[in-house]
Structure 1
């Protein structure tokens, strides 16, 4: 859909396309007239500049219309009044739908714009007015925005590491570790065991 077709549809005007051979023939005859008769008139009047050509055309068109125009079947005025609530500035403009990125940026006409309002939307509409101004709309709401040169960088989230000191384990009173006891041998017992082993070694030596 072209911008013109979209605007006519919003105004409630039906667009009739010249798809039939008859309609195409009419416009071709009109073009042929301007390319033939008008060119000859300009040559006869020796019009060499745009100003001179405009003067010749201003005299030529009324004569052409009087000769070839057809009277309308009805003399009434078919123009309609603009309905209340219709904003022509928002209709007779260039509208383009663009995707809204996760960082709330929009690309339009090779330029980057940052949406300053916090909205949940996948797409927004950019409107270029006749006076050269531009607005961005989402569901009838005009959004705040600004032009930027680069996409905003994502903030790096640094992980915080917490070091926890482990508490020393103190077993309870009924813990098995508390019940375990190391047996202590008396010194006399250890000494007697050494004497026995020494005697055995001597006996073995004597036998050999």
Structure 2
């Protein structure tokens, strides 16, 4: 997702991506639904990029291994020879290596026309598409379970419209997480198992204190309370017949 994002920002949308049959690009499980797709496949479909899953030995890396051009094997050795041992050093060294590599192995294309097109959407929309998207259903109290945590939506008002709503949790490649419903972002809080147990224990503690307070008053039946004989409530005529009242309305 991150690599495709940077490519689109630098060059635009490609017409197609030619890849091997790795499970990142396609679902390889036997008996899988032909219409099912990976997160990467969903993202390319939404961007209008065709994914071509190669079947030839050349596309699977065998020729690259034979010619010693397979970067997965070559890069660590080249960095070791250059004394590279950290990410920052590797990023500074990589452009020079890429230029040297392309000078040795690049081939002039038959058609030099660039088939990339500019991405028409916003940067936020592109980042949103290139994320891991998890569909969830909200409970009546606007929460759901995810990765053993409780996600609680924060919203002003009752939130009746969001009860049982289908929301989407977006995990972005930069580590951020966004909750969306109907193309809008919503704030939320995350409670771990430990935090939930603590909250439940606090709730039980509060309930026990309430029960103790009621017990000290000597009654647990509030409905059984009767007002005194001279209480103003007894002088009210609401609910009494005219003959029972001291004042008869003419």
TM-score range, shorter chain: 0.5 to 0.7
| Among candidates 118, 131, 141, match of residue 81 of structure 1 | 118
Range that drifts further, 7-16 or 131-140: 131-140
Residue 108 (structure 1) aligned with residue 146 (structure 2)? yes
Map 1:112-127 → 2, pairs under 5 A = 112-117=150-155, 118=159, 119-127=162-170
Q: Deviations over 1:98-134 (max 9, x none)?
A: 2323332122233211123421335321012344332
Write the distance in 1 (CA, Å) between the matches of 2:82 and 2:100: 21
Q: Quick one: structure 1 residues 34 and 83, their matched pair in 2 at CA, closer, same or farther if it must change by over 3 Å?
A: same
The count of aligned residue pairs is 155
| Among candidates 38, 60, 67, match of residue 2 of structure 1 | 38
Write the distance in 2 (CA, Å) between the matches of 1:137 and 1:49: 45
For 2:52, what is the secondary structure of its paired residue? coil
RMSD: 4.2
Residue 28 (structure 1) aligned with residue 69 (structure 2)? no
Map 1:83-98 → 2, pairs under 5 A = 83-84=120-121, 87-98=125-136
| Among candidates 196, 199, 204, match of residue 150 of structure 1 | 196
Kindly state the Cα deviation for residue 84 of structure 1 after the two structures are TM-superposed: 3.9
CA contact 1:38–1:60 (8 Å) conserved in 2: no
Match of 2:54 in 1: 18
Q: With a CA cutoff of 8 Å and minimum separation of 6, indicate the structure with the bigger relative contact order.
A: 2
Write the distance in 1 (CA, Å) between the matches of 2:170 and 2:62: 35
Larger radius of gyration: 1
Range that drifts further, 120-129 or 54-63: 54-63
TM-score by length of 1: 0.55
CA contact 1:95–1:126 (8 Å) conserved in 2: yes
TM-score by length of 2: 0.47
